Structure 1
Amino acid sequence: MIKLELIVPVQAEQCIALLKRMPKGHPVRPIVEKDLRIWLKGYYGELNVGYHLSFLPEEEYYIFHGLRLKDKMAFQMDLLLVSAKFALIIEVKNISGKLIFKKGSDLMTRELNNVEEGMDNPIQQVKRHHLQFNNWLKVHQFKGIPVEHLVVISKTSTIIETTPDNIQIFEKLIYAESLIDKIKELEMKYTKPRITKKIISDLSDTLLKEHEIFLPDVLQKYTISQSDIRTGVQCPNCDVFYMKYLSANWYCSRCKFTSKTAHLPAIKDYFLIISQTLKRKQLAEYLHIDLIKARNLLLSLKLPSTGTKRSTKYYLPKNCILSPLNENDMKKGEFFT
């Protein structure tokens, strides 16, 4: 049973919003494009692993994608499986080329196109998540749940290499095609239920309650000035900026397209790029509309708010992003033009 759906990473959403709204010749644009490719590659790797998990019996496993919790520090698990017998943390890697693991090293080397680069060792990463999740379980008084961890390589075209004295890594490092077999091994290891259905349900509710999406400050990360960010509503038909708001409709003077909801992606971009709070004056300036129209649009969204009248601040509900992307949006390719 999927309790937390796989979504496009918020960092990818932020990169896409930046690429839509920053100048074509901006010096950090290539860096943002590179980061977007990395985030989307990870997303598609998790989609592939999710396919294999679909063969598990729904009634026996609770599945959480991208669960982000807090121990002493926040940590995010690509996948968490919870059953009555055990919990399994999975770190998914979708990396091309050859991955070289050296015994005793905290780094992994990747060879691709005759170029070597050091990368963080995912086995060490998932071990840290294992420790943090065990601490989290203790703090929230969930006892008796054995926790296992795995690194799953999403594609068999990725080559894994190590030395004969280090082959034990393959106990915790597998290809996606072997995931169901590995889970069956764990079912043989843990033959009896350790927790009740009630505890699983309580644990699931607590995990979802404690989960929190993190929105990095991308303007600071990429050293981009807010003045570099293009404002206005983008036409969903021809992609031109900016549409005009006439008679409760957004109108594109270029292609004559009209829409009642074209402002939703624009407001989402604001939250993703500029600020996690929004006042009606800020929205009016951003969308190029008057204050009354900005107020009405904000009220129609029914967003959580604090303050009164002109000082009212609106913000997104917890773990919510307006107008989420789908796969067709991501395959257009316009982000890299």
Structure 2
Amino acid sequence: MRAVVTGAAGFIGSHLCAHLLSQGDDVVGIDALTDFYPSTRKHRNLAGLVGHERFAFHYGDLLRLRLEPLFTQADAVYHLAGQPGVRGSWGDRFALYLERNVLVTQRVLEAARDTRLPRLVFASSSSVYGDAETCPTPETVRPRPVSPYGVTKLAAEQLCETYRTVFGVPTASLRLFSVYGPRQRPDMAFARLIEAAREGRPFPLYGDGGQSRDFTYVGDVVTAMRAAGRSSWTGVANLGGGSEVTMRQAIAVLGELGCPVRVVAGPSRPGDARRTSADITLARQAFGYRPGTDLRSGLASMVRGVPTPARPGSTR
């Protein structure tokens, strides 16, 4: 396949590019190298990609780049670019989230429509659910985001659905649940936990530790993205890790892996959902999604700093 990946220098984007290349695809990566976290990390993410004979990188802002020439020859576009992070989306910075998550997605969709793009896979988020009415949560549950970030991801997702139903743009929106793995963003919990353990610092835990997440290993996510990009299915689907784990349990696993952390309890933060848990039935039926990495194996790969190998029976 010929693929375009927006947000190619990011945590998930760089893993996706590497996976696509490993499967023989030609990849065009696009990234503006924004300053949400140090650009040196993004350059490191790109280091294993730049120079590959089937990888081309374009630096630039998606609101200003000419996308049509890049999309014209593509079999699939994977739209991962955006402004991440729940806690930073309040207050004056909301305008940035609106621009990078909503306006950018609308421009990507316009280019997809104008070039008659065969497939567009959009990285949505479990944050659209907020405090979901039921767990595990199916896609039929009404979204109730509890953060401005979740609002912008839901708006972008709805734009995808609108362009799909009105103009026939073949979009697949994947609601990602708490993705983790090597090269995880430095603001995310597991990356901060491992850093605190290595530096012997206490870790400020927001909430009582009983809050739970459906942690999903990045290797399973990017494999599912390619599967969705190669399928004919369109719509909205969850991508979860297959089990719900509390923060206390995850911290205990890190301790067993040689990364004990001294936790300092603090108040919960606005916008943090109490529970997330994905019903992944639709993704399994639509494009064969079966997460193959348990939390212990995935965290071990983070501690080592290298991806975990594929296991028999997994989708990786």
Pairwise same-fold verdict (TM > 0.5) = no
The two structures have a TM-score, normalised by structure 2, of 0.28
Structure possessing the higher radius of gyration over alpha carbons: 1
